[in-house]
Copies of this chain bind each other. A is one copy, B any other.
Amino acid sequence: MPVSNASHVLVTGGTGFIGSHTVLELVSQGYKVVVVDNFCNSCEEPLRRIEKLAGLKDKIPLFKLDLADRDGLRAVFREFSFSSVIHFAALKAVGESVHKPLTYYRNNIAGTLNLLDVMVDFGVTNIVFSSSATVYKANSDGKAFREDSELGCTSPYGRTKLYMENIIQDVVNAEKGWNAIMLRYFNPTGAHESGMMGEDPMQIPNNLMPYMSQVAIGKLDRLHVFGTDYNTRDGTGVRDYIHIMDLAEAHVAALKRLPANQGYEVFNIGSGSGQSVLEMIDAMSAACGHSIPYSKDPRRSGDIDTILCDPTKAADVLGFKVSRTLQQMCTDLWRWQTANPNGYVQ
């Protein structure tokens, strides 16, 4: 049984990009947070910066723990009383997942099964889960995805997210009093406006914006624009970008809904408007004050024209809307990149 009476929010993967910004938003709104992370793709430093930014007197409790370690996880649940869990911890590189499927399934699914199991054992019945727009079946009509759009994944990474959604739904159906919210993110980018926190890819970035940011600062040679003959306004792929602090706020909005005992729910989290790769290059060039070199390269297999979010349900039910502009995403990203050219580890 928990020895502490205070009710905490457990954040798994709380030192990663989305996790750390969400922890910052949580503690800024007065939540007591406990973080578990295996640091396989992150470090402790974001928590130090969160403590500084939020003016915390005490350190955020942090456990270096892999979710494979069920006994370790149980020990954390014995030490703290949790009202709810926000579950970010997962591997997330699509390409890597194709080459190492078992690593992805074991880390993402077996880890989640341990977490859910311990939650059941300790009577913790509220979870916000970090899902992804990658669970949607690619369409070629360019229509925005709604939560009830057809699902279907092309990578092991995507399948881990889809399977975890379904597993959590089965648990909600089987267990009494469980509430679960799946947040399907579109393309998170940007950084905290302080420039003290941002995305810190440990290898060469997989995603457009961190890659572009490293080109802008001269760490990488040039950006590759994969595909310039898509059926979009300028021929390059259109995606729905969302500022990381908007996304962090969406998690807190979801957390606030859980006590409504709504059962299992899914929400898209995106802006509802799309930007092409060339538009993102223009926006980032404006933010950094110089042009960003890029080459036009062939399409990558599996990519499609347009991926857009229909954000209506999140607006209606969670009261969540993005409030930050594309320009802010780029300005904040650039502030972080220039203040921390090597990420958190200087």
B171 & A101 in contact (Cβ 8 Å cutoff): yes
Partner of A171, one of B102, B109, B117, B163: B102
Measured between alpha carbons, how far is A159 from B117 in the docked complex, in Å?
18
Q: Is the CB of B113 within 8 A of A167?
A: no
Measured between beta carbons, the chain B residues less than 8 angstroms from A109 are 105, 109-110, 113
When distances are taken between beta carbons in the complex, the residues of chain B under 8 Å from A120 are 102
> Is A303 among interface residues, defined by CB-CB distance under 8 A?
no
CB nearest neighbor in B for A153: B166
CB distance from A151 to the nearest CB of B (A): 10
A interface majority secondary structure: helix
Number of interface residues of A (CB under 8 A): 22
Query: Which interface residue of A106, A117, A170 has the most chain B CB atoms within 10 A?
Result: A170
Q: With the chains together, A167 CA to B110 CA distance in Å? A: 13
Say if the beta carbon of A156 comes within 8 Å of chain B. Answer: yes
Contacts of A173 in B (CB 8 A): 98, 101
Given A159-B166, A166-B159, do A106 and B101 touch, yes or no (CB 8 Å)?
Answer: no
Q: Does A204 contact B (CB under 8 A)?
A: no
Contact of A113 among B102, B159, B166 (CB under 8 A): B102
Chain A contacts with B in 162-178, Cβ cutoff 8 A: 163, 166-167, 170-171, 173-174
A52 within 8 A of B: no
Which of chain A's residues 69-108 have a Cβ closer than 8 Å to chain B?
Answer: 98-102, 105-106
Q: A159-B166, A166-B159 are in contact. Are A174 and B110 (CB under 8 A)?
A: no
Give the most central of A102, A110, A159: most B CB within 10 Å: A102
Shortest beta-carbon distance from A112 to chain B in Å = 9
Known interface pairs A110-B110, A174-B99; A167-B105 also in contact (CB < 8 Å): yes
Contact (Cβ within 8 A) A101 B156: no
Taken residue by residue from 165 to 194, chain A's Cβ proximity to chain B (1 for < 8 Å, 0 otherwise) reads as: 011001101100000000000000000000
Whether A116 sits at the interface, judged by CB under 8 Å, is yes
Bound Cα distance A113, B170 (Å): 20
Residues 98-140 (chain A) with a chain B CB within 8 angstroms:
98-102, 105-106, 109-110, 113, 116-117, 120
Interface readout for A239-273 with B: 1 if CB under 8 Å, 0 if not? Answer: 00000000000000000000000000000000000
11 contacts between A and B (CB under 8 A): A99-B174, A101-B171, A101-B174, A102-B116, A102-B117, A102-B167, A102-B171, A106-B113, A110-B113, A159-B166, A159-B167
